[in-house]
Structure formats: C-alpha cells, structure tokens
Amino acid sequence: MELVLAIAVGILFGAGVWLILRPRTFQLITGLLLMSYAVNLFIFAMGRLWVNQPPITPTNTIDPSQLADPLPQSLVLTAIVIGFASTALYLVIMIGARGLSGSDHVDGEEPKA
Amino acid sequence: MNGLPGLNHLIVLPVLIPLIVGALLIPINPTRHTLKFALSLLSGVLLWLVAVTLLLLADGQHWRAGIGVYLAANWAAPFGIALVVDRLSALMLVLTATIALAVLVFSARGWGRVGTSYYALFQFLLVGLNGAFLTNDLFNLFVFFEVMLAASYGLVLHGYNIRRIQAGMQYIAVNLVASLLFLIGVSLIYAGTGTLNITDLAVRAAKLGAQEQWLLQMGAAILALAFLTKSAMWPFGFWLPNTYASASTPVGAMLVLMTKVGVYAVLRVWLAVFGDHAGALNQFGFDALIIGGMLTLFFGAIGLLASQEGARMAGFGAIVSSGTILAIIGHGGAPVLAAGLYYLLGSTLAMAAFMLLIELTQRIQPPGAALLALTMEAFAIEDKPEDPVGVGIPGTLAFLGLSFCACALVITGMPPLAGFVAKFSLFHALLAAADGPIPLLTWSLIGLIVFAGLAAIIAFMRLGVRTFWASGVVKPPRLLFSEAAPVAALVLLCVSLTVQAGPVFNYLERTTEGLHRHQDYKKRVLGTKAVKPQPNSREKQ
C-alpha cells in the first residue's frame, strides 16, 4: 500500500508541477489542484498508514498502537478547506483577468510572437 | 502564573480585535466611508494600545522570563495551540500596529474609498499578521499565513486594473505553491518528531534518532522554502518587485511588513529548533541562510540600480533589507542579531513611509512632464482615486523633500539617522563576534552591505533629482493633512529611533538574549497548566 500511495502522490505532484509551468490559466489552476491533492494525501500518509483502525476510541483503555493518528486527519481537513477556498478565490481572479485583458495567458496578455 | 490572570487574555486580543471589527465591517453599506474608517481606526488604536501594553508586560516583571503564554481553548501546550508573547513578538506587534495606523489614516480620503471591502480586508490582514507573530504552533502559523495571504490577495488587486491583475495573478500563484510547500514541510516535521509546537519541537529535536533527524531536516528545509518565498530570498523573490510596483500605495506599505513575517518565522523557528542546544542538528541550515541572504542582498542592490520607478525601487529596497536580515540570522550570535533587529525596525518604518511618500511626490509633476515620460506612461496607473480637493498645505514641497531625504538616509544607511546607527552597530557586532582572524564570509557580508548602501544612494539620488529638481514645471502639490501626517509620523519615528538608540538597543539585546535561553521557553510554554474551572474559555482558529 505504501508503494501505491507513494506512486500516486508522485504522479499527482509531478503532473501538477508540469501543469503550473504551462502558460494558460486553466492549466495553472488544474496544476495547483493536482498538487494540492498530492499534498493532502501526503499529509495523510505522514501519520503513517493504518488499515481499519479508528482514530478515536470510546473505551477507557487506550492503546496507542491500536489507533490511527488523529492529528494528520484533522490537519488534512484544515488543509483541504484552506486549499479549496484559496483556489476558488484564484479562479475568480482568473475570470476577472480573462474579462479585463481578453486573454487567458498567465501574464495577462498574449505573448508577442 | 504571577500577577493578574486577566492580563493573560491580552495576548489573544491582537487577533480578536481585527477579526471582530473586520466581520462587523462587511455588512456595512460600502458608501458609508466615514463609519467604516472610524471603526477601522478604533481597531487600529486599540491594537496599538494592546501591543504596547504587551511589550511593557513582556519587558517587565509580569511574566517569568518575559514570556507570556496563552493556551487557546485551555488545552495544555504540546496538545493545544499556545499563543506566546515574548519581547520579539511584542516588538513585531507594535511595529505592525504602528504601520497599520499610519496606513489607515493615509488611506482615509483616497484609497479607502475606491473599492468596497478595503477596510474589512485590511483588518483580516492584521488578523493574519498578528496571529503569525503570536502563535507557537507550526500548523496554526500556516493558518494565520493563509489568512494574511487571502486578505493580501484581495488588497493587491485593490483598485482593480489590468496591471494589478497581471501582477496579482503571479503573486497569488507563487504564494499558493509556497503554501503547498509549507504543508509538506509541516507534515514531514510532524512525521519526524510527532509534534508541531515549536518549543516542544526544540526539546525533541535534540533527542531524535538518525531517521527522524533526517525527516526533520528535510521538513525544515522545505518549510524554509515557504518562509523564504514570503521574505523574497533570491531566487524566490522575483514576484516581489512587480507586486510592489503595481499595488496601490497603502497596500504597498503593508506588503513591506509582510516580507518581514517570513523573516520573523525563519528567526523564530531556526533559533528555537536548531540553536546551540540542538545536539547533532546544531546550526543546521544557517550557512544556507547566510549565503542566500548575501545573494539576495546583491540581487536587490543591482535591482535598485536598474529601477526607474519609485515603487519598484521600494520593492528592491525591501529585498535588500530582507537579504541583510536573513544573512544576519545565518551569522547568528545575540549582539549581531540585536543590531539586525534594529536595522529591521528602522528599514521597515522608513520603507513604509517611502511607499506612502511616492504617491505624494508623483503629484509634483503634471502628467507628461516627467523626464522619463515614455517609461512612466508605459506603466501609468489607469484609474487613480479622484484627486484630493483639500487646500494645499503651504510648504508642501519642503515637507516632501525633507521626508524623502529622511527616508533615503535611513534606507541607504547614511548618517545621521537610524540606518547609519544600524549599519555601524552591525559592522561592529560582526567584527567583534569573530575571535581571532575575521573570516572571509564576514568580510564579504560587510562588503555587500556597503555595496547595497552605495547602490541605494545612487538610486535614491537619481529619483530625488528627477522628482524635485529636474521635473520641469513644478507645481506645489496639494496634500491632505490625513496624507501628510502619517508620513511625518513614520519619519519622526525613525528620527526618535535614532535619538533613543540607547534604550532601544538595550531592549533588543534583552530580546536576543532571551531568544537564546531555550530553557525559559521550555519551562514557560510546556509548564503552563490549563486553567481548571473554565466557564468562559475562548475558541480559536
């Protein structure tokens, strides 16, 4: 499972990096989204990978080795919310830029060929 | 806890006040400028008072070791989020509140009336800044960084025109990527050490096994990339000059402060985690900071020489000042750091005043009469706020000239103002820090700082001559009192920083010595117990 997750994170992040180096805003925002997915998975994995383990237990006897780490799960939740919000904000600005400049190039103007 | 326990709640106020005021400002009708301005001003004044009180408390005997700890939601330190105020964070809070007040008053008649949510965004920016200075938790730092950035995205685009959008798109893209790096760094650090509390991290860093150490180092390095992007270290600082040059004036002045947040975060985390107590990790990354700082300094100096426009010059000036401070952090040592903090104070105040001043000096020339009319026109701002209608204050030209001179003196580091005191004491501390022969690195740092000073002198002289002497038809510009007063106040602060250099230096020396006493932080932050009865505990985040 570690291998699968690592490859998935790597592919997502690599694709994201390639996309944010592209000149069009749609490619840029897709790249940012892919990278943020990769980062979210990565944060999740940093609490080590667990299968079928609850993060919080209702019982009084607590055995940490039988529980998944709850902290990365809450971190990833916060990161998702913040990432989502800032990407949405960026999308609005991109639409504004498209309307104002008539170009979807990241420089706000078509490159002079 | 000795003293009044109620005073502890002051620590959370710099976050709460602007948060509440900002939320109140949103539903108010955008045409009610005076009400919005009055509320923002109230928040600014309150913030300033709270910040000064915190500074006095941190420097006084109120808290043991001068470290105040506020446990958010009453969870004890490594588990909950602790807000920590010490001399350094109190100083940064005062600096923030001072510049924020000046900028608020400046934008009262002009820029504040342009967009709809200017004042609310401004308050949220303050939430992020103050929170970043106060928090002792890495993930909470991320949250406050994001609050600050989200507000700054809106503010950079304030006075929506094509040029701001072009610069804003790049600014936002760079910062979104930096935020992702921040998250990767934080999660690697958590994977390596199992904690996000900076003080707890410092305690654990010394006892890590080889593999965890490696994770922590990797995480810290990636985290540093995020901080250094904010503080515009070369080669992560290419977004900065464009953003400064295109942002509206008051926002530019606040951006000057925002680059200092990155510097502050580096200083805070590196001194705490990789200080002398860190065992095998002692001094990790400091060499990279000093080299990177010097490269930044060089890049900024060249940029200063190359820029024609005032705002762009201010951007490169901010890069120079970031580079200097990063190199100083990399060099380390309490006396050197104290001189560096003094430099940070002086240069930030002067740079903010200079940003505000640029707009006022631009009114001197009627459009088209500028020496470099072509260049200027190519970059012309399209929709300015309406020209102020107030009566011209007599002697405006003299006022502008003197303020320009004072800012230039501080930024270039010429006598007799604060910049000179800062550089002189910096050189003195750098030379005194070396036992035996002075290393080449120190010499080259000193040489670079002198070179950057020279570049700044040339650039400022050119701008000054062009603005005040060679602009052809000089018509005394019309200034409003609310625009002149903040500039004058900031300049006067720079002057009083020079006059009161002794007490300020004493305070800064206490600050840096305190920063090096890790045991105090460990005792205070990890030793503070949650309050038992909790009828009205506050929530945060």
Question: What is the Rg, in whole angstroms, of the alpha carbon atoms belonging to chain B?
Answer: 23
**pLDDT score for B371:** 38
- Burial letters B269-291, b for 16+ CB under 10 A, else e: bbbbbbbebbeebeebbbeebbb
**Which of A25, A46, A78 is nearest residue B190 as measured by Cβ atoms?**
A46
**DSSP category for residue B69:** E
pLDDT value at A36 more than 90? yes
**pLDDT score for B484:** 86
Given a contact cutoff of 8 angstroms between Cβ atoms, the answer to whether A31 and A18 are in contact is yes
Q: Which residues in chain A touch residue B382, judged by CB atoms under 8 angstroms apart?
A: none
- Burial letters B6-42, b for 16+ CB under 10 A, else e: eebebbbbbbbbbbebbeebeeeeeeebeebbebbbe
Residues of chain A by 3-state class (helix, strand, coil), percent to 5: 65, 0, 30
Given a contact cutoff of 8 angstroms between Cβ atoms, the answer to whether B410 and B419 are in contact is yes
**Which of B168, B176, B187 is nearest residue A72 as measured by Cβ atoms?**
B187
Tens-digit pLDDT profile for residues A2-20: 899 999 999 999 999 999 9
pLDDT value at B368 more than 90? no
Interface test with B, best of A82, A100, A104 (most B CBs within 10 A): A82
Q: Is the peptide bond before B416 cis (omega within 30 degrees of 0)?
A: yes
Q: Which residues in chain A touch residue B188, judged by CB atoms under 8 angstroms apart?
A: 46
Helices (H) and strands (E) in chain A, counts: 3, 0
Distances in Å between the Cα of B474 and the Cα atoms of B404, B467, B468, B480 are 16, 9, 8, 18
Separation CA B149–CA B156 (nearest Å): 10
Given a contact cutoff of 8 angstroms between Cβ atoms, the answer to whether B316 and B241 are in contact is yes
Cα dihedral angle (B342, B230, B319, B343), rounded to 10 degrees?
Answer: 0
Q: Is the peptide bond before B235 cis (omega within 30 degrees of 0)?
A: yes
Q: Which residues in chain A touch residue B183, judged by CB atoms under 8 angstroms apart?
A: 39, 42-43, 79
- What percent of chain B is predicted at pLDDT more than 70? 90
Average pLDDT estimate for B318-340 = 91
- Partner-chain contact A39 B184, CB within 8 Å: yes
Helix (H, G, I), strand (E, B) or coil at B68: strand
Separation CA B64–CA B86 (nearest Å): 10
Given a contact cutoff of 8 angstroms between Cβ atoms, the answer to whether B453 and B412 are in contact is yes
Residues of B near A (CB-CB distance < 8 A)? 139, 142-143, 146, 149-150, 153, 157, 160-162, 165-166, 168-170, 172-173, 176-177, 179-180, 183-184, 186-188, 190-191, 196
B410 against B372, higher pLDDT: B410
The confidence band for B475, taking pLDDT boundaries of 50, 70 and 90, is: low
| Amino acid letter, B221 | A
Given a contact cutoff of 8 angstroms between Cβ atoms, the answer to whether B134 and B84 are in contact is yes
| Amino acid letter, B267 | L
Tens-digit pLDDT profile for residues B382-396: 444 444 444 455 677
Tell me the pLDDT of chain A averaged across its residues.
87
The confidence band for A105, taking pLDDT boundaries of 50, 70 and 90, is: confident
pTM across the whole model: 0.90
Q: What is the number of CB-based contacts under 8 A between chain A and chain B?
A: 91
CA distance A11 to chain B (A): 16
Tell me the pLDDT of chain B averaged across its residues.
85
Separation CA B29–CA B116 (nearest Å): 9
Q: Which has the closest alpha carbon to B92: B119, B61, B131, B141? A: B131
Separation CA A82–CA B150 (nearest Å): 10
Given a contact cutoff of 8 angstroms between Cβ atoms, the answer to whether B133 and B18 are in contact is no
Tens-digit pLDDT profile for residues B40-74: 999 999 999 999 999 999 988 888 888 888 888 88
Q: Which residues in chain B touch residue A94, judged by CB atoms under 8 angstroms apart?
A: 169
- Partner-chain contact A108 B176, CB within 8 Å: no
Alpha-helix runs per DSSP H in B26-161: 33-59, 87-106, 118-134, 138-156
**Which of A42, A71, A89 is nearest residue B184 as measured by Cβ atoms?**
A42
Q: Which residues in chain A touch residue B179, judged by CB atoms under 8 angstroms apart?
A: 82-83, 86
**pLDDT score for B525:** 86
- Partner-chain contact B139 A43, CB within 8 Å: no
